[in-house]
Amino acid sequence: MGRKSRRGRGSSRNSKAQQTPRALPRDAAAFFGAETVEGPSWDFGRPYILRRVGAAGATKNYVCPGCNGTIFSGMSHIVAWPQEGGGRVDERRHWHTRCWDRR
C-alpha cells in the first residue's frame, strides 16, 4: 500500500475564478502585507514569509517557538512560514515580535 502517485497537478479544470491576469507565485507572498525575510537560523535561514498580526487580529493564544511562551490573544505578533511550503496552515508559526527579531 501507500503508493500514491499524484502527478499532474496542473490541470485546473473548473477554474472560473480568474481574478488576476498574471500568475501569482504560489508562495503566498500575495498575502496582504506579507514580506519575505530570512528565516530562523535553526531553519537554515530559509526564506520565510512574514506577516504582522495586529492586536485586533489576534483572537487566540499561540505558543511562540522562539521562547515557548504564550502569545495571548490581543497581542500583536508575527506569523511566519517557510516560503517554499506555500503557506500551508500547519507550517505557520506565531511568534512574539521580539522573539522573531532575535530568531
Task: Indicate whether 103 belongs to the interface with Zn ion (CB under 5 A).
Answer: no
Residues 10-69 that bind Zn ion (CB under 5 A): 64, 66-67, 69
Could you tell me if 69 and 57 are in contact, meaning their C-beta atoms sit under 8 angstroms apart? no
Task: Indicate whether 79 belongs to the interface with Zn ion (CB under 5 A).
Answer: no
Closest CB 57 distance from Zn ion, rounded Å? 17
Query: Counting runs of H as helices and runs of E as strands, what totals does the chain give?
Result: 1, 6
Give the integer Cα–Cα distance in Å for 88 and 103: 21
Which residues contact Zn ion (rule: CB under 5 A)? 64, 66-67, 69, 96, 99
